């Protein structure tokens, strides 16, 4: 750990008390909207093809300005500069945090720890590009000479969620005569269900693991290898397995030719790696050209985040609104509601990005926080969610902040369906923000007894995030928007958004318990509750 990371306590800053007082007196969203017809236009900012409309957030312009001042005083913008420059801002792991370098254009210059980062990034992108092309055009063949028609990405967490989300999001840009599958769970069902429909002679496995030692990925990788070898023999492995990793030694040990390994660096965190080599399956799906458009979208949002003034800066505004909702309005959860079927895995992706990054309870210097940090993030695509959990958002007792994501144009126009989709998104945004008063309910002729049941309190802070079309560029920009919003939140809270000790512990503890279950360690090595559960599962026929 580098010495002496600074992390001033934001709640000790006089601006914090000022913001708390502002929150106590803030009008309802309905009142804010009704008092100021110019509010929607003034609360809308666009960059990199994405528009953020935060008119339905419960905040005054003065409070937003105070948040910006607090961010300035907390060193959020200096930390942003340090991140882009490759300083080791991930202090607990002594690493730079440079996912923004993954999308720097060819020819840009960034030297970090005496290494020309941009050349290295483009070297790997070129290797990936050649490989992706050869799989797509059939030059790369399986061991029996057949073309590959199925790609199976085996990875978990950051080595799965990004590629799985991006494939789903960009399906319309994908090579439709190939199948793309994502296996992550160590539950044997995950791999088995994927393999049952595949032909070994036409299947290519991408083993995606930064460390190449993650239990789930290595176990599924070995099982996939055994499946292939039993059909085609040991020699076929070289034609049917490639690796994405930063651990050459373990890749070779697995039997994968290191020529077929696509590397990345310790300055790319797992959850920030879908635009590094972890995106290999995405690149095979959409082709190298579309992948470079995806990177261009990320880069456009990076540039905007780096250079735009704070009050026009989408990630800064979104990040500060998240802090406002969490700490000053005391809202503990944020629903991400994409009105796009293509974005159906986006909430799951954001769960990792936001909760693994900002689920932290001590500041950089190790002192405990005395305020709330990362919100709980979850969601499902609209309109599906409307017919289930939206009920709680509308009338439950816990307020939920909402991000409604709308894509204006459909790639699959069908009658009036796209208009219906958009109408539903805007209807929900209106009701969440404004609610429905008892007088409005009564005006419908509803009886006195029934009326209270039909009242909606509203006042659910809602942002509408929109874009003309969901293409690779837009997806890149959208992801970068959330990445940097997460950064702003973490920097203001003074926490390290780039480590994940909770996740690491889970990996370690599971190995100890596995040793007990497999009879290689004594029951006394686990706690009494775990020992009891192991015994209960044994009586239930655990294998």
Kindly list the catalytic residues: 356, 387, 507
Among 209, 428, 462, 463, binds ligand G6Q (CB under 6 A): 209
> Which of 155, 190, 165 lies closest to 347, judged by CA?
165
> Which DSSP string corresponds to 105-155?
PTT---EETTEEHHHHHHHHHHHHHHHHHHHHHT-SB-TTSPBP-EEEEE-
- Characterize the bridge pairing of strands 333-339 and 111-112: unpaired
Of 176-184, 210-218, 252-260, 368-376, the segment contacting ligand G6Q by CB under 6 A is 210-218
> 273: exposed, middle or buried (C-beta count within 10 Å: 0-12, 13-18, 19+)?
buried
CB closer to ligand G6Q, 266 vs 535: 266
Give min distance, CB of 100 to ligand G6Q, in A: 16
Q: Cα–Cα distance between 214 and 208 in angstroms, integer? A: 10
Among 302, 470, 500, 526, binds ligand G6Q (CB under 6 A): 500
Give min distance, CB of 268 to ligand G6Q, in A: 9
Q: Which two tokens stand for residue 497?
A: 């958004």
Among 290, 296, 503, 531, binds ligand G6Q (CB under 6 A): 503
CB closer to ligand G6Q, 376 vs 438: 376
Among 10, 269, 319, 476, binds ligand G6Q (CB under 6 A): 269
> Which DSSP string corresponds to 173-223?
GS-TTSEEEEE--SSHHHHHHHHTT--GGGEEEEEE-SSS--HHHHHHHHH
Query: Is residue 214 a contact point for ligand G6Q (CB under 6 A)?
Result: yes
Query: Is residue 363 a contact point for ligand G6Q (CB under 6 A)?
Result: no
Give min distance, CB of 156 to ligand G6Q, in A: 5
Cβ atoms 247, 213 nearer than 8 A: yes
Q: How many Cα atoms within 13 Å fall on the side-chain side of residue 103?
A: 26
Among 271, 345, 434, 460, binds ligand G6Q (CB under 6 A): 271
Of 128-136, 189-197, 205-213, 371-379, the segment contacting ligand G6Q by CB under 6 A is 205-213
Of 150-158, 397-405, 440-448, 463-471, the segment contacting ligand G6Q by CB under 6 A is 150-158
CB closer to ligand G6Q, 158 vs 435: 158
Cβ atoms 379, 385 nearer than 8 A: yes
Which alpha helices (DSSP H) does 271-379 contain, by range?
Answer: 280-286, 288-307, 314-323, 346-350, 357-358
Cβ atoms 274, 244 nearer than 8 A: no
Among 56, 99, 210, 460, binds ligand G6Q (CB under 6 A): 210
Give min distance, CB of 160 to ligand G6Q, in A: 8
Q: Which two tokens stand for residue 487?
A: 């950064």
Query: Is residue 159 a contact point for ligand G6Q (CB under 6 A)?
Result: yes
User: How many of the chain's residues bind ligand G6Q (CB under 6 A)?
Assistant: 15
Give the distance, in angstroms, between the CA of residue 441 and the centroid of all CA atoms in the same chain. Answer: 39
Interface mask toward ligand G6Q for 163-202; x: CB under 6 A: ----------------------------------------
Among 29, 45, 156, 300, binds ligand G6Q (CB under 6 A): 156
Give min distance, CB of 342 to ligand G6Q, in A: 23
Q: In what order do the strands lie in the sheet with 150-154?
A: 179-183, 150-154, 203-208, 241-245, 261-263
Query: Is residue 345 a contact point for ligand G6Q (CB under 6 A)?
Result: no
Residues 6+ apart with CB under 8 A from 273: 99, 158, 159, 162, 210, 264, 279
Query: Is residue 499 a contact point for ligand G6Q (CB under 6 A)?
Result: no
Give min distance, CB of 499 to ligand G6Q, in A: 9
Give the nearest residue (CB) to ligand G6Q: 157
CB closer to ligand G6Q, 29 vs 97: 97
Q: For every residue of 412-471, which 3-state class applies, written as one string? A: CCCCCHHHHHHHHHHHHHHHHHHCECHHHHHHCCCCCCCHHHHCECCCCCEEEEEECCCC
CB closer to ligand G6Q, 269 vs 476: 269
Q: Cα–Cα distance between 75 and 58 in angstroms, integer? A: 25
Of 58-66, 72-80, 153-161, 222-230, the segment contacting ligand G6Q by CB under 6 A is 153-161
CB closer to ligand G6Q, 214 vs 383: 214
* Interface residues toward ligand G6Q, by CB under 6 A: 156-159, 209-211, 214, 217, 269-271, 356, 500, 503
């Amino acid at each position: 750990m580098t010495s002496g990371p600074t992390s001033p306590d934001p709640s000790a800053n006089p601006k914090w008390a000022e913001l708390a007082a502002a929150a106590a007196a803030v009008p309802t969203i309905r009142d804010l909207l009704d008092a100021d017809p110019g509010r929607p236009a003034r609360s809308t900012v666009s960059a990199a093809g994405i528009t953020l409309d935060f008119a339905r957030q419960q905040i005054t312009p003065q409070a937003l300005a105070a948040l910006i001042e607090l961010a300035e005083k907390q060193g959020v913008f200096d930390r942003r500069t340090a991140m882009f420059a490759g300083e080791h801002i991930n202090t607990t792991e002594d690493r730079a945090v440079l996912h923004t370098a993954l999308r720097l254009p060819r020819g840009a210059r960034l030297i970090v720890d005496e290494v020309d980062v941009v050349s290295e990034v483009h070297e790997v992108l070129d290797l990936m590009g050649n490989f992706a092309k050869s799989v797509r055009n059939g030059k790369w063949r399986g061991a029996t000479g057949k073309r590959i028609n199925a790609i199976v990405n085996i990875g978990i967490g950051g080595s799965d969620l990004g590629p799985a989300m991006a494939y789903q999001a960009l399906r319309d840009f994908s090579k439709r005569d190939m199948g793309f599958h994502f296996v992550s769970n160590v539950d044997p069902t995950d791999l088995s269900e994927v393999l049952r429909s595949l032909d070994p002679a036409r299947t290519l496995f991408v083993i995606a693991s930064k460390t190449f030692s993650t239990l789930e990925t290595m176990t599924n990788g070995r099982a996939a290898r055994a499946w292939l070898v039993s059909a085609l023999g040991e020699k076929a492995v070289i034609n049917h397995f490639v690796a994405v990793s930063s651990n050459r030694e373990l890749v070779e040990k697995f039997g994968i030719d290191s020529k077929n390994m696509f590397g990345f660096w310790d300055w790319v965190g797992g959850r920030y790696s879908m635009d590094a080599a972890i995106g290999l399956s995405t690149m095979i799906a959409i082709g190298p050209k579309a992948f470079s458009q995806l990177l261009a979208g990320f880069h456009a949002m990076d540039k905007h985040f780096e250079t735009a003034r704070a009050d026009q800066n989408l990630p800064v505004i979104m990040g500060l609104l998240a802090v406002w909702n969490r700490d000053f309005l005391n809202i503990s959860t944020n629903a991400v509601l994409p009105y796009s079927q293509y974005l159906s895995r986006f909430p799951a992706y954001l769960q990792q990005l936001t909760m693994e990054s900002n689920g932290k309870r001590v500041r950089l210097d190790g002192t405990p926080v005395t305020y709330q940090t990362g919100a709980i993030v979850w969601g499902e695509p609209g309109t599906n969610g409307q017919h289930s959990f939206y009920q709680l958002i509308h009338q439950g007792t816990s307020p939920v902040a909402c991000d409604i994501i709308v894509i204006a144009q459909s790639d699959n126009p069908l009658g009036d369906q796209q208009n219906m989709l958009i109408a539903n998104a805007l209807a929900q945004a209106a009701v969440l923000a404004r609610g429905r008063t008892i007088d409005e309910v009564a005006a419908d002729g509803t009886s006195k007894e029934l009326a209270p049941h039909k009242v909606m309190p509203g006042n659910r802070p809602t942002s509408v995030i929109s874009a003309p079309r969901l293409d690779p560029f837009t997806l890149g920009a959208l992801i970068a928007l959330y990445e940097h919003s997460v950064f702003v939140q973490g920097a203001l809270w003074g926490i390290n958004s780039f480590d994940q000790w909770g996740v690491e512990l889970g990996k370690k503890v599971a190995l100890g318990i596995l040793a007990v279950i497999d009879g290689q360690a004594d029951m006394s090595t686990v706690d009494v509750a775990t020992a009891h559960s192991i015994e209960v599962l044994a009586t239930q026929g655990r294998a």
